[in-house]
Amino acid sequence: MKKNERYETTIVDLTHDGMGVAKIDGFPLFVHDALPQETVELQVTKLGKKYGYGRVIKRLTDSPDRIEARDKLGWQTGTMPLQQLAYPAQLAFKTNQVQEALKRIGHIEVDVPETIGTKNPWGYRNKGQIPVQNVCGQLTTGFYKKGTHTLVPVENFHIQDPEIDKTVVVVRDLLRRLQLTAYNERNRSGDIRHIIVRRGQRTQQIMVIIVTAKKRVRPLQLIADELAKRVTEVVSVIQNVNQDKTNRILGQVNHVLYGKDYFEEELLGLTFKISPTSFFQVNTDQAEVLYQTALDFADLKESDTVIDAYCGIGSISLPLAKQAKHVYGVEVVPEAIEMARDNAELNGLDNTTFVAGTAEEVLPKWVEEGLHPDVIVVDPPRKGLDDVVRKTMIEVKAPKIVYVSCNPATLARDLADFVAAGYNVEKVQPVDMFPQTSHVETVVLMSRVDK
């Protein structure tokens, strides 16, 4: 096989990130915008030792699951890689992802039910993080072309709350009017790095965060005041200062330009204050489904003690606390812990203890101090559980563990260790938090088996 050669072949599968898989004499080629069962004429664009890439020259047959794409820019930016796949087929794809990861990586045979979908797979994101660049001499918002830092101008992201898209455009136009410049990462010049808009979909409250490369950007106060007049839902405008040479979006310093240093959202009958740097699930409706599934799996009694090992601002801890005797939460971000405490007070819950620190540091200390949880709940980042956390959880022998995962591969790896240590995987439930993308969340219930 050589680069630029053409082949007629049938797409046999999808990769974990939604690319079609063709096999030429057993050699896999990954192909953009190609679905299983489609016959295509493709051209080889790149070759490696174990796999290559191709592009469709002509589609000869269509998959029965193919639908018309909403916006080709969603492919260029990588924001909607599955937009050509009918939503029921997206859910089936995600169910299969979880099933295959558990089987192949974790060697776990368990029934995986259908992924729980959403009624509206569009306009669901409650947070937009929009990069800013100078394009043709003008400050422009959009998204990076996939795999690059080249900005593609975008005004309608389709998967974001439409009110967020509108607010971004208002901020952009105010920045242009006052002649502020976009940050240039090559020579580190310019004023504005990102515009972040967060919206409470139940409260309609909007927070705008303008990320600047300098501490002092004089016209920002004028922009904040004008923005509050134009977008009546705005309750908070924040300047975040990020002077570092980094790909990290947010810096450590926040200045309130208008309103409060938080906005509020409602979830499972509770009200949450959310700060500029606080994590909150980006799909509010499906977050309720995800967390309710975790609560159902935990099946708490009033006498139960619970540890929430990645508690954030308390979005899982507080619903747990409504049913349990006491909930202990740990989170690495001190600001999130302060907000978790505020949220507990706001909702009248006094049976919680929140501690700032890493789970790998705090969990062993709690165990040494004699804390014996009936249930441990974990919702780790994509890398999964730290080795120390996993080891400590196994040593404490909690009767039940509820694992909320955003990565089937690391979930399967971690579950294998728990199974080897005497836990049974009782229930698995995938939940679709990110329609039009390949990402899937999964809730797992494990129970301790006495050997």
The whole-angstrom separation of Cα 338 and Cα 254 is 16
CA R_g for the chain:
24
> What is the CB neighbour count within 10 angstroms for residue 58?
11
Map out the domains of the chain with their CATH numbers: 6-66 (2.40.50.140), 93-119+277-448 (3.40.50.150), 127-267 (2.40.50.1070)
The whole-angstrom separation of Cα 344 and Cα 85 is 41
Strand order in the sheet with 400-405: 352-356, 326-331, 305-308, 375-378, 400-405, 441-448, 423-431
Three-class DSSP category at 254: strand
Is residue 406 part of the annotated active site? The answer reads yes
Please identify which residue in the block is written with the tokens 């938090």.
Answer: 433
pLDDT along the chain (451 residues), means of 10: 94 90 95 95 95 96 96 93 96 96 96 96 98 94 93 96 98 96 91 97 98 93 96 98 93 96 97 95 97 98 97 97 98 94 98 95 92 96 94 94 97 97 97 97 94 49
Options 362, 404, 406, 428, the catalytic residue: 406
The whole-angstrom separation of Cα 430 and Cα 174 is 42
pLDDT at residue number 17: 80
The whole-angstrom separation of Cα 144 and Cα 61 is 32
Quick check: 78 and 146 in contact, CB under 8 A?
A: yes
The whole-angstrom separation of Cα 350 and Cα 354 is 11
3-state helix, strand, coil in the chain (%, to 5): 25, 30, 40
The DSSP annotation for 90-124 comes to HHHHHHHHHHHHHHHTS------PPPB--S--SS-
Short-list 343, 336, 290, 337, CA closest to 321:
343
